[in-house]
Structure 1
Amino acid sequence: MHSRRKFLAGLMAGSLAPKATWADAGAPAFLSAGRDELGLFVIAGLSATGAVLFRHPLPDRGHAASAHPSRPEAVAFARRPGRFADVIDCRSGAQLARLSPPQGHHFYGHGVFTPDGTRMFTTENAYESGDGIIGIWDARDYRRIGQVSSGGIGPHEIRLRRDAAGLVVANGGIETHPDSGRAKLNIPFMRPNLSYLSLAGEIEEQMELPRDLHKNSIRHIAVRPDGTVGFAMQWQGDVGADVPIVGLHHPGRSPRLMAEGDPRLRNLDGYGGSIAFSGDATQVAVTSPRGGVVHVMACDSGALIVEHRLADVCGLATTPGGFLASTGTGTVARIGAQTGAQVVPLTTAPLAWDNHLIPLA
């Protein structure tokens, strides 16, 4: 499925030298996919203030990435329905390997390493059957070693649980097939869910939305230290509907939908692009590139605290004092979490940043 000779040779040579760490890569704080001024696709490493530290070319549009917990390596994933995932040495930007899913599968743009860095899990579509799949890879040499059910259709983002050993998967519920491009094939019958899996792949719990929200595709997730999962949704129903786009769920409890009834919900245009908790875990924020807004909500009350305007904003990450956001216009900005806080642009690069800003710590 991928060439590993060069990668394995590098591992053997590297075993005689001190082990490389993220400090050897210039200590980047974030990763993001993007498109450069020539229209070429890249994955880039960013400093804490958004300065570009390295970049690596991609064969097509990327979506998100996953960073190895100890080695200065990252895996950049293709945007759906892509079939590549590039393993990158973040010290040099060099490609170590290119992964491909099995025949009849495509990647969904996300993956995650186990805390010890020995395995990696990827979200995939087995598109002939429509089944959601979690691919399992040996992260020592990036060899595929198995797969399990995601617990639903259209698995998108996958994260490690914080309350127990295991995974949480956002199954968006939308069936697609590469022959139909990015067309959505089952909107009237979709059933999104959050699925909690053990590291061995057993489904331990699932959360579904109320029936009247079955067209709210659960796409992106963030996990609070206490195990609470924040989830961002993308509405597939009637245009202009005032539906919640963010929810919180703790295993064993009912979900809580945020900012219900607030008229500013419509400014999200039914689309949650990325989600993150604030550094103190008291707020949760969501971006909407369609609406050009960032909403910050209080986790305890569910109320919408502040709405920030930022054109084509999508990437979002936690910072000690709030959030960092990236945009399709090349801006990286600091976002305040309190009423009256401002958007503070930090850098602007000749890159159109894509959907996600991936923290490396």
Structure 2
Amino acid sequence: MIGKNRALKDAAGPNSRRRQFIAGLLAVGVVPAPTWADAGKPAYLAAAARSDGTYALCGLNASLETVFRIPLPARGHAAAAHPLRPEAVAFARRPGTFAVVIDCLSGTAKARLKAPEGLHFYGHGAFSASGDWLFTTENDYASGRGNIGVWDVAAGYRRIDGFSSGGIGPHDIKRLPNSDVLVVANGGIDTHPDTGRAKLNIATMQSNLSYLLDGAVMEQAILPPHHQKNSIRHLALSAKGDVAMGMQWEGDGTSPALVARHSRGSDIAVATLPDDLLRALDGYIGSIAFSQNGKTIAVTSPRGSILDIYDADRMALASRTAINDVCGIAPCLEGFALTTGTGALGVLDTTEPRFMPAAAHSWDNHLVMI
């Protein structure tokens, strides 16, 4: 459990005092329920490793300034932001068995989620549109099947249910805009906590994209047969509900592709690249994002230190930028905001990246837009 005094001491000064003031008013019922604006109006969440060896969840505003920094008990991966109030769930680096629910106004931990016996988390989650339910991607490692956990937010994040993810190895999960339809990246890779991140079924793996509503599969999309060893890992959504996919190649040689897009009711559209450009990505896309207007898709490869921009309609490469250890990516007004494992924060517009002063952090994989 994260101590309140430590968290407040660690947070940014003026915003910390504002949060304490509002929290005091809330205690006596003077002001309405807080919103994200009361927590410093963060635009993004990002997990980080600090220079002293500790870990934190950070809130960054639209200018990529840190507005809060809250300690985590171990390395984080991604986070889920509550749709209405300043509350976030920080997930352990996969495969993990814990997630921490953080009140981003007070800097305290509200709850700690523990995966039930026989399950482990995959590092991602999503809230329902109302914020009443949290959904988590999980692995039932005895059976090798993917699971979606259901947690009752009002009951202190009590686990109440679980249902099939529609495949094996569910990693990322998103909620489609203006709906409660969940889309899940079933990566197809079976893992077990006893073997860490070892992949147990590469010869027979098969990933898919599953659309779920009320625990039932509404639609599934599968990659072409020659992509059988491509694992769908990370997802991004456009405002109209198109899904962009970043993949990880588990086969021999160069991958056939690592980026794709899907619109419901149609086949997956796969982006193609010349072999030399694909090889530079080293078989792995770390994060993916749609631009705010939905016209372009940005993908990062921390292994290749590459940020690629694709035309979303044609699924054709528009530009490539070399950025050391780049991974976190999210839309912003100028184009895309980015984070790196070396601590850099930047914005990529139509010309070149513009960097902010480096933080004393190593940013983890994802930059989560609130």
- The interval holding the TM-score normalised by the smaller chain is over 0.9
Question: What residue is the counterpart of 1:68 in the other structure?
Answer: 82
Instruction: Output the amino acid matched with 1:347.
Output: P
d(CA) in 1 for partners of 2:363 and 2:309?
Answer: 21
Please, what is the CA RMSD of the aligned residues? 1.7
CA shift, 1:311, in A, is 0.5
d(CA) in 2 for partners of 1:129 and 1:24?
Answer: 44
CA shift, 1:15, in A, is 8.8
- Determine if the alignment matches structure 1 residue 139 to structure 2 residue 139: no
Question: What residue is the counterpart of 1:5 in the other structure?
Answer: none
Question: What residue is the counterpart of 2:288 in the other structure?
Answer: 275
CA shift, 1:327, in A, is 0.3
Unaligned runs of 5+ in 2: 2-22
Question: What residue is the counterpart of 1:194 in the other structure?
Answer: 209
d(CA) in 2 for partners of 1:126 and 1:98?
Answer: 20
Instruction: Output the amino acid matched with 2:288.
Output: I
Q: Could you tell me which of 113, 118, 130 is aligned with 1:99?
A: 113
How far does the alpha carbon of each residue in 1:226-265 deviate from its partner, in whole angstroms, 9 at most, with x for none?
A: 22100100111124x0421110001110110113446422
Question: What residue is the counterpart of 1:6 in the other structure?
Answer: none
How far does the alpha carbon of each residue in 1:294-353 deviate from its partner, in whole angstroms, 9 at most, with x for none?
A: 0000012221110011101110001123101100011111012x4xx1011023100000
Instruction: Output the amino acid matched with 1:345.
Output: F
> For the Cα contact (< 8 Å) 1:259–1:297, is it kept in 2?
no
Q: Could you tell me which of 246, 255, 265 is aligned with 1:232?
A: 246
- Determine if the alignment matches structure 1 residue 155 to structure 2 residue 165: no
> Could you state the TM-score of these two structures normalised by the residue count of structure 1?
0.92
Instruction: Output the amino acid matched with 2:247.
Output: M
Secondary structure of the structure 1 residue equivalent to 2:356: strand
d(CA) in 1 for partners of 2:357 and 2:290?
Answer: 22
Instruction: Output the amino acid matched with 1:344.
Output: R
d(CA) in 1 for partners of 2:27 and 2:80?
Answer: 22
- Determine if the alignment matches structure 1 residue 289 to structure 2 residue 278: no
d(CA) in 2 for partners of 1:190 and 1:15?
Answer: 55
> For the Cα contact (< 8 Å) 1:220–1:274, is it kept in 2?
yes
Q: How has the CA–CA distance of structure 1 residues 260 and 163 changed in structure 2, closer, same or farther, with 3 Å as cutoff?
A: farther
Unaligned runs of 5+ in 1: 3-9
d(CA) in 2 for partners of 1:262 and 1:139?
Answer: 47
Question: What residue is the counterpart of 1:346 in the other structure?
Answer: 356
d(CA) in 1 for partners of 2:148 and 2:342?
Answer: 33
Question: What residue is the counterpart of 1:185 in the other structure?
Answer: 200
Instruction: Output the amino acid matched with 2:216.
Output: E
> Could you state the TM-score of these two structures normalised by the residue count of structure 2?
0.90
d(CA) in 1 for partners of 2:179 and 2:228?
Answer: 28
State how 1:1-361 maps to structure 2 within 5 Å: 16-17=29-30, 18-140=32-154, 141-162=156-177, 164-198=179-213, 200-239=214-253, 241-261=254-274, 263-336=276-349, 338=350, 341-360=351-370
CA shift, 1:211, in A, is 1.5
Q: How has the CA–CA distance of structure 1 residues 68 and 15 changed in structure 2, closer, same or farther, with 3 Å as cutoff?
A: farther
d(CA) in 2 for partners of 1:25 and 1:232?
Answer: 31
Q: How has the CA–CA distance of structure 1 residues 245 and 163 changed in structure 2, closer, same or farther, with 3 Å as cutoff?
A: farther
CA shift, 1:275, in A, is 0.5
Instruction: Output the amino acid matched with 2:326.
Output: V
Secondary structure of the structure 1 residue equivalent to 2:280: helix
CA shift, 1:357, in A, is 0.3
CA shift, 1:49, in A, is 2.3
How far does the alpha carbon of each residue in 1:158-217 deviate from its partner, in whole angstroms, 9 at most, with x for none?
A: 00123754100000000000111110000010000000001x110011111111111110
CA shift, 1:61, in A, is 1.2
> For the Cα contact (< 8 Å) 1:243–1:270, is it kept in 2?
no
> For the Cα contact (< 8 Å) 2:129–2:178, is it kept in 1?
no
Secondary structure of the structure 1 residue equivalent to 2:38: helix
> For the Cα contact (< 8 Å) 2:273–2:317, is it kept in 1?
no
d(CA) in 2 for partners of 1:260 and 1:309?
Answer: 17
Instruction: Output the amino acid matched with 2:171.
Output: H
Secondary structure of the structure 1 residue equivalent to 2:284: coil
How far does the alpha carbon of each residue in 1:270-305 deviate from its partner, in whole angstroms, 9 at most, with x for none?
A: 111000011111100100000000000001222111
d(CA) in 2 for partners of 1:14 and 1:84?
Answer: 29
Q: How has the CA–CA distance of structure 1 residues 165 and 68 changed in structure 2, closer, same or farther, with 3 Å as cutoff?
A: closer
